[in-house]
Structure 1
């Protein structure tokens, strides 16, 4: 990845609806070479997908909650069952395996407190869930940020 590829990636993260001609103009290429670069970035998996960023408030999401989850055991089948259950819960918008005092950190959204309580009951019904700790997000300071594009010396 050279500096032009990185510039293209930054521009696409800012607004993926830009035309190839607009991107090409901003990076100093003609449209055809720019389109080839974008296609190569897509085919290599660097560009994973394109999506719209939605306004939570406008679609009725009033709460964001971070939930720490500890499991009773760490057998492969229990982990698989928990992770599949989380995949099937629409309220969970991200789930991370973490180190430390708990096993998973979930980011959960809900219309309101009653909706979150309903979600919590689903989570508590899972066999392998030992403990749940909830942190209500009061205000988002930063979010939906563009990913940094590191130099090749930082890549794996």
Structure 2
């Protein structure tokens, strides 16, 4: 889908505040509410806007520890990959999982209450998934930049 300047301004406005009303977006992008509403519907139907969700503060919800874990599998058979990915989907503490290139097979973003909790997640859950060969962890000391916004060029 090709985006014109108005579509880009609408998306930028929503990335700033997804709770913005159609009227507020219209004022910000210099269109009336009706075309903004039509454009929003089209962006949603095309999947450019995949949904709306609140940005939660994990620390205030009791999960101040962020960690990234790299995982290697013993083999790349369909059975091992399916078992691993199903286990990851079911784990609420894994907030993102990416199949990656390089030395490791997967990169996980994990949230935890503290180091002991991270240890439990790692040693009692992740390393016990059949087919996992090794797990390495990187604990986040401080987040310098954290954004879910996509560049709108």
Assess same fold via TM > 0.5: yes
- Report the aligned-residue RMSD: 0.8
* Matched positions, count: 150
- Match of residue 130 from structure 1: 133
Query: SS state of the match for residue 57, structure 1?
Result: coil
Aligned residue among 124, 147, 150 for 1:144 = 147
Unaligned runs of 5+ in 1: 151-156
Query: SS state of the match for residue 58, structure 1?
Result: coil
Matches within 5 A, 1:1-156: 1-120=3-122, 121-150=124-153
Unaligned runs of 5+ in 2: none
Deviations 1:76-113 (A, max 9, x none): 12111101100000000000001111100000000111
Which 4+ residue blocks in structure 1 deviate beyond 2 angstroms?
none
